[in-house]
Every structure is written in structure tokens, then in C-alpha cells.
Chains A and B, each alone.
Chain A
Amino acid sequence: MHKESAIREPLILGHKTYSDITEDVCAPIEGKAPRAWYIMFGVSLLVGLYGIGCIIYLLGTGIGTWGLNKTVEWAWDITNFVWWVGIGHAGTLISAVLLLFRQRWRMAINRSAEAMTIFAVFMAGLFPLIHMGRLWVGYWVLPIPNEFGSLWVNFNSPLLWDVFAISTYLTVSVVFWYIGLIPDFATIRDRAKGAVSKKMYGILSFGWSGRAKHWNRFEIVSLVLAGLATPLVFSVHSIVSFDFATSVIPGWHTTIFPPYFVAGAVFSGFAMVQTLLLILRKGMKLEAYIHTKHVEYMNIVIMVTGSIVGVAYLTELFISWYSGVEYESYAFINRATGPYWWAYASMMTCNVISPQLMWFKKLRTSLLFTFFISIVVNIGMWFERFVIIVTSIHQDYLPSSWSMFYPTWVDIGVFIGTIGIFFAFYLAFARYFPVLAIAELKTIVKISGQSYKDGTAPGYDDHGGGSDSAVPYGEVSPEVDTDTPPDDSIKNETEDNNENTDDSSGSNE
């Protein structure tokens, strides 16, 4: 059996057997939802419905109901789009990149982070669609034969690249997420008592039975999907940044945008994961699986990506001066000292200064502080997009057309509404879906479980022996115990360990 270094902190606290993991994850699904869940779901749904109302009003009236004007012709819609896409980067990053790097701490957080990703990308996708003004002709973004002559979408345009990138990212993330969910749905199906839930989880689990060959395929498919999703994650936000970087607007026309946007996306995505998971682990009593160490790991990611973002901000400032292009320099001076200085200051404080506090171990292991910083980072990242988009265009080449942007109630309603819809989706997920990857956690409980690491697990002989053989499942024949002398079995196992070193290290995901 593969052993993990003793100095690594256990990923699963206390003593957990395989069935304990099943119990702990399934309990919130099988039990009644707490009152707090109904309250939160109700509020989210109401806010979401208000947002949908605003969208319908927008579609009926036209884009003129937004606060856009002749100078600032792109504002909250694209800000919100980039913000949501950025948030939607953590999930697939956690499940794909961390899978390739064999980081086991991802197993407790990947399921819920991926759910968050998918819902965030839904919200992001909404903005370009409603931005078209005519939602029902949204299919025009696809290269399909049409009645307007030889009119094709422009494959040279980053806006079209975005269409392909976002839709590929969304569907591949859904597939990746669902393939991992199937075995866990099967677990719920086999435990379900009610006829309806048995039927529903039966359909959702696709008839998964856990055969050896299926697990063999499962692992390779997950690995290949992770390999495909990793460059995909980086490509998506790079392409989102091309929307700006390939233009000729001072402040947008910047070659460092792709890596800077990707770092920012990971930064904001992890912050949103922290916000959600800190509530989830408490509400669903999953403290043994998602504990301080996981939070600390995520805080380190936030610190590193926050520092990259900080370096990018400073590089932009320096290069705008060093380039000697007066329009470029003005765009940045205007950002920092112009009428939107407060947005720039919020962005700098939230994104550059606050993650640096994570250098202190006391702070990055404090759950309350982490929660606070995660909110701060999300606010800061929204301002980052607002600063890039609005401050670059509101004072353009022609001073007579300089103007400010003021959001209308529709702008605000649509944005707040997407937050409501997002939380309603997420709460429904937490209620009906297994929020932790049950099957994956079972593969690490003996490697990273606290009781197995410190040798306190009852009946565990340090060689992977059965822990509950004292509790019979059916009838145990008496000769089972007597015929295998303990010395032999230990000897056999040590030999087999040597033989199988390659196997186990090659396939321990």
C-alpha cells in the first residue's frame, strides 16, 4: 500500500471507515434540509427572479435601458461577464490541474468547486446573450448556412473565439464533473429508501455498478479529461483577455493581458470557492474532510496568484510610462488619479494588499479571516474588470465626448439577479448532489486519514488489513481466521508491495 510522508498533515481528520464517508456525505441529502437552507434558497430565488424580471424588461425595451452612452459603450455587462468567467476558473483548475499534479487535497473540494464553476459559467454566458439584445437570434454566433448570402461568422475575431472557448469550456466541464458524479450517484441510489429518490438517482447514476473494467476506464477517462481541460482552462481566459488585448484602445492594447487575466481568474475563483466552502463545511458538518489545511492550501494559491496580479498591475503602470506613448500614459494616469480613482484604489487594496496578509500563518489558517478576505477579493476582482473596461474608454481621444458611466436600476438588477440565480443553483446542488467525491475520498482515507497515519485506527495492522472484520456482514466461516497465520500474511504483503510499486505509484489517482 502506498504510504504518505508522516510529516504531511492528514487530509481526513479523526477515524473514518469507508461507510463513515458514505454516511457523512449522504446524510444531508437523505435527511431534512435545515431551516437555514430554506431561508437562503428562498432569498436567492427571489433575488434571481428579480434578475430574470430585469432581463425580460431589458429584452422588451432594448439595451438603451442600460446606463451606456456614446463614449462608454461597454460597461457592466462585459464587467460581469469577465467577473463570472473568472470565478468559473477555479473548479476545473482544481479538478484538472491538481489532478495532473497529484494533489490529494483537491478531492475534498473538487466536486463543489466544479459545480460552482459550471454555475458561474452559466451566469457568464448569460451576459453576451442578453447583450445581443435579441436573445432569440443567439444562434447567429454559430457558423451555420443562412439566408443572408455567403455570410459567415468572422473566425478572425476574438469575440467568436470566445463563443467557441466558453461553450467548449462549459460543456467539457459538465462532462468532467458528471463522469465523476456517476459512481457517487450510484452510492446514493443503492442507499435510497423512497421510490422517487431511488428512481431519480437510478437515472442519474446511469446504471453504474463499479466493475473493475469500468473503474479502469474511469481512471483513464478522468486523466485524459484532466489533460484536455488543463490547457482549456488557460486558453479560455486568455481568449477572454483577447477581447480587449487585440483592440487598439489605450489601456486595453496590452500584451500581458492573457497571463494576467488567467492569474486573476484563478485568484477570484479560489476566493469564491473559499466563500462557499467555509459555509458548506459548517452547514453540512463536513469539517473532518475540509479542514484548516485545505483552507490554508487554497489561501496559498490566492496569495501566489494575487501576487502575480499585483506584479501585472505595476508592470502595466511602468510600461505605460516607459513606452513614451502619451495616450497610453494618460490612460493609466487617468485610471489612478482621474474621476474613477476610488475604483482603482479599491482594486489595488483588495487585490494587491489583502492577499499579502496571507504570508502570516496565523492569518491564513484563520477561517474567519479567510472568509473576510475571500469576500474582499471578489469585490476587488469585480473592480479590476470595471477599472480596465470603463476607465479606459470614458475619457477617449476627443475631450468633448468625455463622459462618466452611471448604472441604471436594470444594470444593477441584472447583476444582483445573476448572483441570486448562482446561489439558488449552488444551494440546490448542495441539497441533492453529493458535495464531496465519495469514491475518490475512499481511495485516500488509508493514505491520508488521521487515524491511519498515527496508527490509532481500530483493527488496522499498518498493512492495509480490514478494519471492521470484527463486525461480520454475513456469516463468517470459522476456518477463515484460523487458516491464515498472521506472520505469513504480513510477509506476503511486504513482497507484494515490492512487486507492485510501479502499479500503485502509476495509478494512485
Chain B
Amino acid sequence: MSDRVIYATYDDDHTLLEGAKKLVADGVHITDVFSPFPIHGIDPVIGVKHTRMGIVAMMFAVTGLMLAVIGFQYFMIADWPMNIGGKPSFTLLQNFPSFVPIAFEFTVLFAAHGMALVYFLRNKTLPGMPADNPYPRNTDDRFTMEIRLSDNHDMSSEDLHAKIKQTGIVEIEEKDYVVIK
């Protein structure tokens, strides 16, 4: 059986937020929200967990720092120590003050690019990917709630329609749910 989905569209972020709170209090499960800009406060209402992108960045940062230190140890200490004005160059620790700038840069390089890459992969936003917002105006001035019937077994389509229509929508549409990506 194919899944059905209701798209409820609002013309204001605040109306949608209020509507979402009301619907959730009524026991409706809202699958997702499409909006042209972040709606602050929507995440806890519809159950979007806090992202772990910060942890990703930290992990890449530590990786970058470690790689840099391994590189210094090999290039400048183990393989070919350089005597520059007699400055201490035979242990990593003694020579480390000279390596601080590159250690920092390499950490930032890894953290920023690693996090960006994970961000693109997790969002499935990559060059050439199809977009799956239900209406083109979702990137302009329309805010749409996606409510799947399979997530709301205990309610009939008519019940959901009746509840949604009480929340200041400007348009409502029910159709087959199609997975685009």
C-alpha cells in the first residue's frame, strides 16, 4: 500500500509554529517542515533532535592536529632535521614553537572541510541532486508541513484535514508519498 501525505501550507513562519504546537498537542505527528529560512523553535515541537555536526567538527579537528604533528615529527625531526641558526631541532617538543602556526591551520582546514563534507552527505545535498520541496514557493515565502498518514495510524485522513484546517493554513493537499531522494 502506498503511503499518503498531507501538505499543509502556511504563509507565515509564526502561524506555522503555532499551528504545529497545536497539532502536536492534538496527537498529530508532523514528519517534516519545509521553509525558506530556519524557523526558530520548530525543532523541539516536531521532534527534530539537535544536530551532532559540532562533534563531527571536533573529530576532524583532532584528526587534522594529529596528522600535522605526525608530519612534523617525520619531515622535520626523523627524516631531515634542519639546523637553522643553531635553534633546537632534534626533538619535536623543542622545535614545536615553530610548528604552532601550521598545526593550527591544519586543524582548521580539516575541521572545516570535514564538517562541510559530512554536512553535504547527511543532507543529501550534492551537485546534481534533485530537490524535493513540495512547492517551488517553499524557497520563497511559503511554509509547508509534511504529515504522513503512515505516521498517524490512529487518525483518519478526514480527522487530520479537520485538525489542520483549524491552524491558519492557506492551502492543503493530499497526495501519494513519493521518495525523491
Chain A interface residues toward B at CB < 8 A: 1-2, 17-19, 22, 143, 150-156, 158, 160-161, 164-165, 167-168, 171-172, 175-176, 179, 182-183, 186-187, 189-191, 202-221, 224-225, 228-229, 231-232, 235, 239, 242, 438-440, 442-443, 463-469, 472-477, 479-480, 483-484, 489, 492-493, 496, 500, 503-504, 507-508
The answer, yes or no, to whether B62 is at the interface (CB within 8 Å) is: no
Task: Please measure, in the bound complex, the distance between the C-alpha atom of A83 and the C-alpha atom of B169, giving whole angstroms.
Answer: 54
Which of under 10, 10 to 19, 20 to 34, or 35 or more describes the interface residues of B? 35 or more
- Across the two chains, which residue of chain B brings its CB closest to A489? B18
Instruction: Provide the residues of chain A in CB contact with B44, threshold 8 Å.
Output: 503
Instruction: Provide the residues of chain A in CB contact with B119, threshold 8 Å.
Output: 179, 217, 221
Q: Are A210 and B9 within 8 A (Cβ)? A: no
- Across the two chains, which residue of chain A brings its CB closest to B34? A210
Task: Please measure, in the bound complex, the distance between the C-alpha atom of A483 and the C-alpha atom of B167, giving whole angstroms.
Answer: 9
Closest Cβ of chain B to A328, distance in Å, is 20
Q: Are A190 and B138 within 8 A (Cβ)? A: yes
Given A175-B113, A216-B38, A439-B36, A155 and B76 contact (CB-CB distance below 8 Å) = yes
The answer, yes or no, to whether B27 is at the interface (CB within 8 Å) is: no
Task: Please measure, in the bound complex, the distance between the C-alpha atom of A2 and the C-alpha atom of B14, giving whole angstroms.
Answer: 11
Task: Please measure, in the bound complex, the distance between the C-alpha atom of A105 and the C-alpha atom of B115, giving whole angstroms.
Answer: 27
Q: Are A161 and B139 within 8 A (Cβ)? A: no
- Across the two chains, which residue of chain B brings its CB closest to A18? B141
- Across the two chains, which residue of chain B brings its CB closest to A508? B40
Task: Please measure, in the bound complex, the distance between the C-alpha atom of A151 and the C-alpha atom of B46, giving whole angstroms.
Answer: 58
Closest Cβ of chain A to B66, distance in Å, is 16
Q: Are B171 and A473 within 8 A (Cβ)? A: yes
Instruction: Provide the residues of chain A in CB contact with B87, threshold 8 Å.
Output: 156
Q: List 18 A-B contacts (CB under 8 A).
A: A143-B71, A143-B75, A154-B84, A161-B105, A168-B109, A171-B109, A182-B125, A190-B138, A212-B35, A215-B37, A220-B53, A439-B38, A443-B37, A466-B14, A469-B12, A473-B9, A477-B165, A507-B40
Instruction: Provide the residues of chain A in CB contact with B168, threshold 8 Å.
Output: 466, 469, 480, 484
Task: Please measure, in the bound complex, the distance between the C-alpha atom of A484 and the C-alpha atom of B19, giving whole angstroms.
Answer: 11
- Closest 8 A/B residue pairs (Cβ): A207-B129, A474-B171, A464-B14, A466-B12, A18-B141, A190-B136, A206-B125, A215-B38
Given A152-B75, A466-B15, A191 and B37 contact (CB-CB distance below 8 Å) = no
Number of A-B residue pairs with CB-CB distance less than 8 Å in the complex they form: 262
- Across the two chains, which residue of chain A brings its CB closest to B144? A210
Q: Are B40 and A504 within 8 A (Cβ)? A: yes
Instruction: Provide the residues of chain B in CB contact with A151, threshold 8 Å.
Output: 80
Q: Are A175 and B116 within 8 A (Cβ)? A: yes
Q: Are A221 and B140 within 8 A (Cβ)? A: no
Q: Are A476 and B170 within 8 A (Cβ)? A: yes
Task: Please measure, in the bound complex, the distance between the C-alpha atom of A70 and the C-alpha atom of B173, giving whole angstroms.
Answer: 78
Q: Are B37 and A442 within 8 A (Cβ)? A: yes
Task: Please measure, in the bound complex, the distance between the C-alpha atom of A86 and the C-alpha atom of B7, giving whole angstroms.
Answer: 50
Q: Are A212 and B43 within 8 A (Cβ)? A: yes
Closest Cβ of chain A to B53, distance in Å, is 5
Q: Are B34 and A465 within 8 A (Cβ)? A: no
The answer, yes or no, to whether B86 is at the interface (CB within 8 Å) is: no
B105's partner among A164, A205, A463 (CB-CB below 8 A) is A164
- Across the two chains, which residue of chain A brings its CB closest to B87? A156
Chain B interface residues toward A at CB < 8 A: 9-15, 18, 21, 32-44, 46, 48, 50-51, 53-54, 57, 71-72, 75-76, 79-80, 82, 84, 87, 89, 95, 98-99, 101-102, 104-106, 108-109, 111-113, 115-116, 119-120, 122-133, 136-142, 165-173, 181
Q: Are B15 and A465 within 8 A (Cβ)? A: yes
Q: Are B125 and A207 within 8 A (Cβ)? A: yes
Instruction: Provide the residues of chain B in CB contact with A480, threshold 8 Å.
Output: 165-169
Q: Are B133 and A156 within 8 A (Cβ)? A: no
Q: Are A155 and B75 within 8 A (Cβ)? A: yes
Q: Are A225 and B141 within 8 A (Cβ)? A: no
Task: Please measure, in the bound complex, the distance between the C-alpha atom of A484 and the C-alpha atom of B165, giving whole angstroms.
Answer: 11
Task: Please measure, in the bound complex, the distance between the C-alpha atom of A418 and the C-alpha atom of B111, giving whole angstroms.
Answer: 31
B101's partner among A164, A216, A477, A500 (CB-CB below 8 A) is A164
- Across the two chains, which residue of chain A brings its CB closest to B173? A474
Q: Are B113 and A212 within 8 A (Cβ)? A: no
Instruction: Provide the residues of chain B in CB contact with A493, threshold 8 Å.
Output: 14, 18
Q: Are B140 and A190 within 8 A (Cβ)? A: yes
Closest Cβ of chain A to B164, distance in Å, is 10
Q: Are A496 and B80 within 8 A (Cβ)? A: no
Q: Are A190 and B111 within 8 A (Cβ)? A: no
Instruction: Provide the residues of chain A in CB contact with B132, threshold 8 Å.
Output: 207, 209
Instruction: Provide the residues of chain A in CB contact with B111, threshold 8 Å.
Output: 224, 228
A220's partner among B33, B54, B84, B166 (CB-CB below 8 A) is B54
Task: Please measure, in the bound complex, the distance between the C-alpha atom of A502 and the C-alpha atom of B168, giving whole angstroms.
Answer: 26
Task: Please measure, in the bound complex, the distance between the C-alpha atom of A187 and the C-alpha atom of B34, giving whole angstroms.
Answer: 13
Q: Are A213 and B48 within 8 A (Cβ)? A: yes
Instruction: Provide the residues of chain A in CB contact with B127, threshold 8 Å.
Output: 203-204, 206
Q: Are B139 and A468 within 8 A (Cβ)? A: no
Task: Please measure, in the bound complex, the distance between the C-alpha atom of A442 and the C-alpha atom of B106, giving whole angstroms.
Answer: 35
Closest Cβ of chain B to A458, distance in Å, is 13
Task: Please measure, in the bound complex, the distance between the C-alpha atom of A182 and the C-alpha atom of B89, giving whole angstroms.
Answer: 47
Task: Please measure, in the bound complex, the distance between the C-alpha atom of A469 and the C-alpha atom of B88, giving whole angstroms.
Answer: 73
Instruction: Provide the residues of chain B in CB contact with A143, threshold 8 Å.
Output: 71, 75
- Across the two chains, which residue of chain B brings its CB closest to A242? B101
Q: Are B141 and A186 within 8 A (Cβ)? A: no
Task: Please measure, in the bound complex, the distance between the C-alpha atom of A263 and the C-alpha atom of B132, giving whole angstroms.
Answer: 45
Instruction: Provide the residues of chain A in CB contact with B21, threshold 8 Å.
Output: 496
- Across the two chains, which residue of chain A brings its CB closest to B127? A203
Task: Please measure, in the bound complex, the distance between the C-alpha atom of A220 and the C-alpha atom of B55, giving whole angstroms.
Answer: 11
Task: Please measure, in the bound complex, the distance between the C-alpha atom of A474 and the C-alpha atom of B170, giving whole angstroms.
Answer: 6
Q: Are A207 and B79 within 8 A (Cβ)? A: no
Q: Are B116 and A472 within 8 A (Cβ)? A: no
- Across the two chains, which residue of chain B brings its CB closest to A239? B101
B54's partner among A152, A155, A224, A466 (CB-CB below 8 A) is A224
Q: Are B51 and A216 within 8 A (Cβ)? A: yes
Instruction: Provide the residues of chain A in CB contact with B123, threshold 8 Å.
Output: 208, 214, 217
Q: Are A208 and B166 within 8 A (Cβ)? A: no
| Max count, chain B CB within 10 A of own CB: residue among A189, A209, A439, A443 | A209
Instruction: Provide the residues of chain A in CB contact with B39, threshold 8 Å.
Output: 212, 215
Closest Cβ of chain A to B160, distance in Å, is 14
